[in-house]
Amino acid sequence: MEKQNRSNQVVGISIGDLNGIGPEVVLKTFSDSRLLNYVTPVIYASSKTIAFYRKALDLEKFNYHQAKNFDDINHKKVNVLNCWEDSVEISPGSPTEISGRYAAISLKSATEDLKSGKLQGIVTAPINKKNIQSETFDYPGHTEFFADYFDAKETLMMLVSDELRVGVVTGHIPLRNVADKITKDRITKKLKVMEKSLKKDFGINKPKIAVLGLNPHAGDDGLLGNEEERVIAPVINELKEKGKLIFGPFPADGFFGSLHFRKYDGVMAMYHDQGLIPFKTISFQNGVNFTAGLPVVRTSPDHGTGYDLAGKGIADEGSMRRAVMLASDILKMRAENTD
């Protein structure tokens, strides 16, 4: 990517679960000083936590500026902003109540600065959706947290790579509840968010969007379910009549297996695994999770806490690096669209 002067793009990095691979992939990512040509990173954690992983993983190339407060950040360096002074017990590979608690502290501290305008964007390292739960954090995941925090009426979980962009109509809900959530209103709203984001955030003037069916073989003309004929197809037809380039519903298995997705700028899946399994198969090490529909820019690597890899020095930072670069690209695109 062409080097650009983006020193005003101050991007917060929430550290994620302290016992997962979040700290490792963050430190590995910013061991490459070339990223400072694109963003000024502010890592929300503690210097003690960062020092622990720097030593444990022998990451001598990772250098940072310890900022006492936000006004103290250095635009020419990686910044670590202390969110806590406690000496926190770190046990790589073991999810604990403590690691979840401090993941929430990091996330909330960064999000407060994002909302106040100190940060231009945020990249979130992986959390454990169970041990982060508390009286002050009661969300199925990052997407729902940001939607509530920024009072966004409609957001979309979108997985992004060079090859593929996938959104999901239903996100973090049990599979047994999916069919009841597949309504004309919900599909319409999610497609509108995707189309707007493809234009605003990715610079695609007339995006082509493929819509997947809910049932095997897209219902097989009603033999395997009627959601396609009763709900999904009418939405597609209504949007087509308004001049939108929306197509489908397509059977999900053949759509990805035949590489049909390459003909479209975005793909709307009906539920989480329908979209994320093929996405991660195709783009696992370079995919990014992006929350479309927010007034701010939030990205994340497309993997989880990776406890089985934590503390071993073998976690791949590719997705985290791409999450940082995607945040930078979208911030630049939004700035150009408002000029």
Q: Which CATH number belongs to the domain containing residue 43 in this structure?
A: 3.40.718.10
- Region class of 180: left (phi > 0), else alpha (psi between -120 and 50), else beta: alpha
- Give the residue-averaged pLDDT of 128-155: 93
Using the predicted structure, report yes or no on whether residue 8 has a pLDDT greater than 70. no
Measured CA distances, 163 to 59, 198, 256, 278, 304 (Å): 31, 14, 12, 12, 21
pLDDT band at 231 (very low <50, low <70, confident <90, very high): very high
179 and 263 together in one domain: yes
- Across the chain, what does the average pLDDT equal? 93
pLDDT at 339: 56
pLDDT band at 83 (very low <50, low <70, confident <90, very high): very high
**pLDDT 10s digits, 12-56:** 999 999 999 999 999 999 999 999 999 999 999 999 999 999 999
Using the predicted structure, report yes or no on whether residue 250 has a pLDDT greater than 60. yes
Q: Please check whether residue 88 is in contact with residue 98, taking contact to mean a CB–CB distance below 8 angstroms.
A: yes
Structurally, how many domains does the chain consist of?
A: 2
146 and 23 together in one domain: yes
323 and 218 together in one domain: no
43 and 101 together in one domain: yes
pLDDT band at 223 (very low <50, low <70, confident <90, very high): confident
Asked whether the bond before 92 is cis by omega within 30 degrees of 0, the reply is: no
Domain boundary among 271, 290, 309: 290
14 and 99 together in one domain: yes
Pairing relation of β-strands 288-292 and 245-250?
unpaired
112 and 207 together in one domain: no
137 and 19 together in one domain: yes
pLDDT at 156: 96
Q: In DSSP terms, which residues pair with 288 in a beta bridge?
A: 160, 301
274 and 180 together in one domain: yes
Domain enclosing residue 284, as ranges: 154-290
A 10 A CB-CB count for 55 gives 10
199 and 313 together in one domain: no
116 and 222 together in one domain: no
270 and 333 together in one domain: no
* Identity of residue 229: E
- Region class of 151: left (phi > 0), else alpha (psi between -120 and 50), else beta: left
Sequence-distant (≥ 6) Cβ neighbours of residue 140 within 8 angstroms? 129, 171, 172, 173
142 and 267 together in one domain: no
Tokens of 336: 């150009």
Using the predicted structure, report yes or no on whether residue 60 has a pLDDT greater than 50. yes
pLDDT band at 171 (very low <50, low <70, confident <90, very high): confident
